[in-house]
Structure 1
Amino acid sequence: MKKPLILIVSSSAEEHSYGRVVSHLEKHGARVLLWLTDIAIGSSRSFSILITEQGTVSIQAGSVLVDVRDIDAAWYWKPNSFRVPGAEENVSRQMTYVNEVTSLNRALWSVLPESIWLSSPLQLWRAERKFQQLLLAREVGFEIPRTMVSSDWSMIEKFMGAETQNLVVKMARGVLADQNHVMAMPTTLLALPQRNALQGVVSPFPGIYQPYLEKRREWRITTVKEEAFPAAIYTNGKSRVDWRQSQTSNDVTFAKEDPPSLVLEYCVEYLRRSELGYGAFDLVEDEDGQFFFLECNPSGQYSWLEELLGLPISGSLAASLLPAQ
């Protein structure tokens, strides 16, 4: 019997994730072709895409050359997560490479049929649109928070309501660069006195504004096709605004718990409608037990939950890439 051939497009910085999936695939007799963006940039190993005059396409990685028609399944996993040499001293060089490689990857991997991808590059790009996420989440049954983008502080106050004392602001990408310094902007709490002080000083644009949700707990529900792997998140102090900033501290606790089955059904249905095979859902459960959708990251990290809680996510990813028995 012919061994299935699985293509994984990633970067070596993500080996902690894709490495486990590769192990599962190889245990099941699959051949794995790894395309690693940062290795291609460094030229330490030969990577090529070849398109002939007849329109046939081949991929070469190291000593392996395959016709794309022989690829049974493909997984696109953070191929733009890399650092070029000297990135700390030359941020513009790093950003130029990331922008160019991101554009190239989107164009390059469209040569493979949409149907073989766990989540195709095109669907991943579409799925990252935060406002479309909110509307789709509402369609499938989730509660969603009131959300606004505006250049007018008074419009924000009017839309959110006079009774809303605390808002949060987040950015569409959340990466800020100043000279040679790059930093992530976390979700930030803005109390009413802070907002009043900012009026007339700085524009609220291009921030994304929502009410701060008082929470019983948060949830990260990692979903692979029709399998959902929920984890409850308990927070204290500043981590109650954005737990990612204190993920490894004592202020954040992850627990293997189950939300209502209907919530898991919403996650599966969301993926189905998005034509995605994978998604990491961030939800807030408020003090009344209502579940609010915050976002679905179509390439959200999961390996720490697998290590901490024993969630078999890598095995599920591998199974989803293997041909049906």
Structure 2
Amino acid sequence: MTNDDRPVLVLTNLDDPTADFVIAELYDRGVPVVRFDSGDFPASLSCSAAIGGCTDSWSGSVQTPSRHAALGSVRSMYYRRPSGFCFPHLDKQDERFAVAQARYGLGGILTSLPGCLYVNHPNRIGDAEYKPAGLAAAVAAGFVVPPTLITNVPDDAREFIEEHGPAVFKPISVPLLVVDGKAQTVPVAEVVAEEIDDSVTGTMHLFQKRVDKVADVRVTVIGEQIFAVRIDSGLLDWRTDYGTHTYTPLVAPPAVERAMRAYLKHFRLVFGAFDFALTDAGEWVFIECNPSGQWAWMEPPTGLPMTSALADLLEGGLRDE
């Protein structure tokens, strides 16, 4: 089998325009693509794999009603935002059992494919999504990181805010809320010491010194390529209103680029969407890095060839194989 025959797997949900752009680019190049969602299993997704004896790596296939991929021939996997396994026809106990078997069975096979480049590997994504781990890695990589407290102790939260205020509260994970039928994320919000009450004891909370910023910067690292975009919005959390944005391509300072490379190396990622707050003095303050972050909406207003860069990475696969 030639490299031209090896498919790219795209694992994501049905409503993913970012993946749509990359898939269209790969199709235009004649690169075979097999797209599926873990939530389709087992209704319209099946898998059979074998190993051991004379077989030293997974052989078999994953199939959808319209696509088929031999496990040993996959050149790369674009792991985006698949929905979870779901067995609504089963009672709760049987559903828990079936979900576990699917996750560790099908999921385990898909995370151990021979000769496959992962963008990014699901296990590495899982590691990097822990915000405390990301902040520790950011400090070690040399980023400027705002004073941060993660706590469920009200007195410690009040003391932190009084010392470092103005301060903000932000979610440690990225839970989606459904408001009026639309999915929304929990926004970053300012907080004062007087607002802290005993409800803080109920779970962990993240408080951070508010950065006195003049703009935000989103940097998308795709393999060896770096695409930095300044976002002018005037908002504390630019995600709350995309209609206010002005986008300007810029170049990341060498020290920031070195720190990004160190950060990605730490988590063994080949893709990362970094967010920075840009101060009036020109300092880039690290906010976070999303290992599955969005980027496609910035391509039209900036002309940055991010879709092409992602397709290059997926098409090339593991070049040393």
Deviation at 1:175, TM superposition (A): 2.7
The CA distance in 1 between the partners of 2:31 and 2:196, in whole Å, is 57
TM-superposed deviation, 1:156: 2.4
Secondary structure at 2:276 match in 1: strand
User: Measured at CA, do residues 202 and 121 of structure 1 come closer, stay the same or move farther in structure 2, by a change above 3 Å?
Assistant: closer
Distance of 1:235 and 1:72 partners within structure 2? 40
Counterpart of 2:71 (choices 61, 68, 71) is: 68
Instruction: Provide the C-alpha distance between the structure 1 equivalents of 2:313 and 2:176, rounded to a whole number of angstroms.
Output: 36
What pairs up with 1:47-126 in 2 under 5 angstroms? 47-52=45-50, 56-80=59-83, 103=103, 106-113=107-114, 115-126=116-127
Amino acid corresponding to residue 207 of structure 1 in structure 2: H
Q: Residue 320 and residue 213 in structure 1: after superposition, are their counterparts in 2 closer, same or farther (change >3 A)?
A: same
Per the normalisation by structure 1, the TM-score is: 0.80
Root mean square deviation, CA, Å: 3.4
The AA in structure 2 aligned to 1:30 is V
Distance in 2 separating the partners of 1:202 and 1:107: 37
Question: Which letter does structure 2 place at the counterpart of 1:218?
Answer: D
What is the match of residue 291 of structure 1?
Answer: 284
Distance 1:189 1:199 in 2: 15
SS of corresponding position for 1:216: strand
How many angstroms does 1:2 deviate by? 4.9
Partner residue in 1 for 2:93: none
Q: Any idea what SS the aligned residue of 1:117 has?
A: strand
State the SS of the aligned residue for 1:56: strand
AA aligned opposite 1:295: E
Map Cα deviations across residues 210-269 of structure 1 (whole Å, 9 max, x no partner): 011111221000111221100001122xx2x21101122x3x322222232332332233
Contact kept, 8 Å, 1:6 with 1:321, in 2: the verdict is yes
Q: Which residue of 2 aligns with 1:172?
A: 172
CA distance in 2, matches of 1:218, 1:101: 43
| CA apart distance, 1:132 | 0.9
What is the alpha-carbon distance in structure 2 between the residues aligned to residue 24 and residue 184 of structure 1? 29
Segments of structure 1 that go 5 or more residues without pairing to the other structure are 86-95
Return closer, same or farther for 1:213/1:23 CA change in 2, 3 Å cut-off.
Answer: same
Q: Distance in 1 between matches of 2:102 and 2:241?
A: 29
1:142 aligns with 2:143: yes
Q: Is the 8 A contact 1:225 1:268 kept in 2?
A: no
**Residue type of the alignment partner of 2:131:** K
TM-score, normalization by structure 2? 0.81
Identify if the C-alpha distance between structure 1 residues 172 and 197 changes in structure 2 by more than 3 Å, giving closer, same or farther: closer
Q: Distance in 1 between matches of 2:144 and 2:49?
A: 47
| Candidates 214, 217, 228, aligned match of 1:216 | 214
- Taking the aligned partners of 1:179 and 1:100, their CA distance within structure 2 comes to 30
**Residues of 2 paired with 1:20 and 1:258: CA distance?**
24
Q: Deviations over 1:273-304 (max 9, x none)?
A: 22111110001122332221111000111110
Matched pairs, number: 301
Letter in 2 for 1:235: S
Judging changes above 3 Å, is the alpha-carbon distance between structure 1 residues 201 and 56 closer, same or farther for their aligned structure 2 residues? closer
Shift of 1:69: 0.5
Asked if structure 1 preserves the Cα contact closer than 8 Å seen for 2:134 and 2:289, the reply is: yes
Q: Distance in 2 between matches of 1:101 and 1:216?
A: 49
Distance (whole Å) between structure 1 residues aligned to residue 188 and residue 101 of structure 2: 27
Deviation track 1:93-136 (CA, whole Å, cap 9, x = no partner) reads xxx9xx98995674452242485312111111111111111111
Q: Counterpart in 2 of 1:8? A: 10
Per the alignment, in what secondary structure is the counterpart of residue 269 of structure 1? helix
Structure 2: state its 5+ residue gaps: 53-57, 89-95
Q: Which amino acid aligns with 1:210?
A: Q
Match of 2:154 in 1: 153
1:179 Cα deviation after fit? 11
Q: AA paired with 2:80?
A: W
Taking the aligned partners of 1:201 and 1:23, their CA distance within structure 2 comes to: 48
